[in-house]
A and B are shown apart, each in its own frame.
Chain A
Amino acid sequence: GAVVSQHPSWVICKSGTSVKIECRSLDFQATTMFWYRQFPKQSLMLMATSNEGSKATYEQGVEKDKFLINHASLTLSTLTVTSAHPEDSSFYICSPDTQYFGPGTRLTVL
């Protein structure tokens, strides 16, 4: 099956800085990429859906100017958390398809 990788697997940053998370789909043409967020001991919540070459669609309550998504190619999508704050600390997971999920990126904002 398809392999989805994320980089970094974990990151710690200071409040106010920006963090970029990369999601690569190997052996899979990801025309669509779903980004989820999972707070500790909670469920996954869909943040946004991106389509290759076009703007992402954000779920209600997710700030599009804070969570910048770029899906420039069929194998790479990036999520940039801008001006991160402690409440953004979470586990971010990408998924090109309901069958495949990335291993996740743990973000901790101090």
Chain B
Amino acid sequence: QQQVKQSPQSLIVQKGGISIINCAYENTAFDYFPWYQQFPGKGPALLIAIRPDVSEKKEGRFTISFNKSAKQFSLHIMDSQPGDSATYFCAASNGGGGADGLTFGKGTHLIIQP
């Protein structure tokens, strides 16, 4: 599987601030880029996903920015809350998001300080 690089490894943000997590990929065949939230001992939960034909997608407090030429995408969490404290994974797949499995980034441990 091709690599997906994620940064930072850990992040501390004050309540109400903006949390930003970045990912970069190598395989230009990837056509589906989701972000997942995972709490300890639980399976990951899909937050938001984007395809390369758009540069930005927003759902509530979560926004994905996508730069196809740079092969980078990022997650922005607006008005971060203590309940957002979790591990976040970016991922990528080819095959339209259904046919192929996901390649995950290494994860970002996010802590929102009250």
Residues on A lying within 8 angstroms of B by beta carbon are: 4, 32, 34, 36, 42-46, 49, 59, 93, 95, 97-104, 106
Contacts and interface: CB of A to CB of B under 8 A. Distances in A.
**A interface majority secondary structure:** strand
A36 B91 CA distance: 13
A45 B104 contact: yes
A63 to B, nearest CB: 17
B105 A43 contact: yes
Nearest to A45: B104
Contacts of A49: 100-101
B104 A43 contact: yes
Interface of B: 1, 32, 34, 36, 41-46, 49, 89, 91, 93, 97-107
A98 B104 contact: no
23 contacts: A34-B101, A34-B102, A36-B101, A42-B107, A43-B105, A43-B106, A44-B102, A45-B104, A46-B102, A49-B100, A49-B101, A59-B1, A93-B43, A95-B102, A98-B32, A98-B91, A98-B98, A98-B102, A100-B46, A101-B36, A101-B45, A103-B43, A106-B41
A9 to B, nearest CB: 9
**B interface majority secondary structure:** loop
B104 A104 contact: no
A97 B1 contact: no
A49 B100 CA distance: 8
A103 B45 CA distance: 9
A95 B42 CA distance: 13
A45 B104 CA distance: 7
B93 A44 contact: no
